[in-house]
Amino acid sequence: MRVEIVAVGTELLLGQIVDTNSAWIAERLAAIGVDCRYQTRIGDNVTRIAGVLEAALARSQAVVVSGGLGPTPDDVTREAIAQVMGVALEMDEEALAGVERALRARHREVSPSNRRQGEVPVGARIIPQRGGTAPGLICPVGEGAIYAVPGVPTEMKEMVERAVLPGLRERSGEPATIMSRVLRTWGAGESVVAEMVGPRLAALDAAGDGAPTIAFLARGLEGVQVRITVKAVSADAGREVLDREEAELRELLGAYVFGVDEETMAMHIGSLLSARHSTLAVAESYTGGLIASTLVAAPGASAWFRGAAVSYASEVKRDLLGLGPGPVVSAAAAAEMANAIRRLLGADVGLATTGVAGPDSQEGMPPGTAFAGAAFPGRGSEAVGFEILGDRQRVRELGTMESLDWLRRHLEKAE
């Protein structure tokens, strides 16, 4: 099934607002196995919106429109849809009642412009609001359909999950269950990951229709995600295929894979520590507490995370952690700090960072110079260096993820 996305709003064309709605909707469509080959941004003009919708329906079975359902004169999505359907707008009492309830809850009067939000094209059904004032619309057009949702991201997401995605599944008429699984990777760019998975992609392409599909998504500090989507006659059959494909991809990607679906790096590290009943303590310098913040975001972190010391100044490293003479921006210092924080907080494993976030050099080291150290029971300590490009925040963020990933790989090897 093919579905197109249309984002309405002149502010999108002027660059005043970034169109994050289309990206989110496209991701959700892909997750249920729906093809999205076109996305369009269009200004607040009835004729142009109608033209875009007609072109979309000529290519696809359904269109998801976000924006233009508000009360102001430039909110003309309803009028454009009515034009495409060849019908008039009429007041829908249920829609109007929803608008009035929402406004009364906010202690606001119902103005004539607000009443416009109760108008719907003849033959359309509303998607009741649960957070704002503008109801969504489900509009049949020949064999196709237009799903219109508000442009406010929170309202849009709620309606898409509640009404649009189930409607599209039903409209597709496919008895299959559509299931996806995401493998999360760190340490290789999107192009490299795609090349590594290339042999499997070729095999699936050769298998033809009905084979699982694989897609890639670079998510910045979340790494590169590899999504597997399958269509199966049952959930059990789908899981069996997903298990098989995950095993194939893990064989190709190796240690780059750190998590599945919603499993973050911190959650995975926590599971590794919990499996061996171990605890972790952290000493941070240039990362400035980002590692600790990332770790405590994982549910249940209190079971394995002892705490952290942000030893930003050199004298704090020496006074609090007992760092000896010599450079503080070095592999030796990172290893020594890891040992010290492990002893100081009574943890099984210690992790430390030291480096130069910038913009100035330190100890002759340029910005982006970074080191991580780790200390393990019975194994002593180790350290590694990184060269990170970017501004201060980028160096801190990437340094946090590189350090955690390095620790993660050590913990996996020790299993």
Average pLDDT (114-118) is 90
Mean pLDDT of the chain: 94
pLDDT at 415 over 90: no
Average pLDDT (84-90) is 98
Summarize pLDDT for 325-337 with one digit per residue, the tens.
999 999 999 999 9
The CATH number of 265-413 is which of 3.30.530.20, 3.30.300.210, 3.40.50.300, 3.90.950.20?
Answer: 3.90.950.20
From 207, 238, 242, 237, select the one nearest 226 (Cα to Cα).
Answer: 242
pLDDT at 414 over 60: yes
- What is the location of CATH 3.40.980.10 in the chain? 3-172
pLDDT at 175 over 60: no
How far apart (Å, rounded) are the C-alpha atoms in residues 250 and 62? Answer: 36
Average pLDDT (269-286) is 98
pLDDT at 83 over 80: yes
Q: Which CATH class is domain 3-172?
A: alpha beta
Distances (CA, A) of 300 to 7, 306, 350: 40, 12, 19
Average pLDDT (353-371) is 97
How far apart (Å, rounded) are the C-alpha atoms in residues 92 and 58? Answer: 28
Strand partners, 308: 282
What is the CB neighbour count within 10 angstroms for residue 189? 12
Q: Which CATH class is domain 177-260?
A: alpha beta
CA atoms within a 13 Å half-sphere pointing along the CA-CB vector of 80: 27
The token pair that represents 383 in the structure block: 């350290």
pLDDT for position 174: 65
Q: Which of 120-124, 176-180, 302-306, 316-320 has the lowest mean pLDDT?
A: 176-180
Average pLDDT (366-386) is 95
pTM for the full predicted model = 0.74
Summarize pLDDT for 24-74 with one digit per residue, the tens.
999 888 777 788 999 999 999 999 999 999 999 999 999 999 999 999 999
Summarize pLDDT for 199-237 with one digit per residue, the tens.
999 999 999 888 999 999 999 999 999 999 888 888 899
Summarize pLDDT for 304-322 with one digit per residue, the tens.
999 999 999 999 999 999 9
- What is the location of CATH 3.90.950.20 in the chain? 265-413
Whether residue 359 is preceded by a cis peptide bond, meaning omega within 30 degrees of 0, is yes
The token pair that represents 164 in the structure block: 């649009």
- What is the location of CATH 3.30.70.2860 in the chain? 177-260
At 130, is the secondary structure helix, strand, or coil? coil
Whole-number percent of the chain with pLDDT over 70: 99
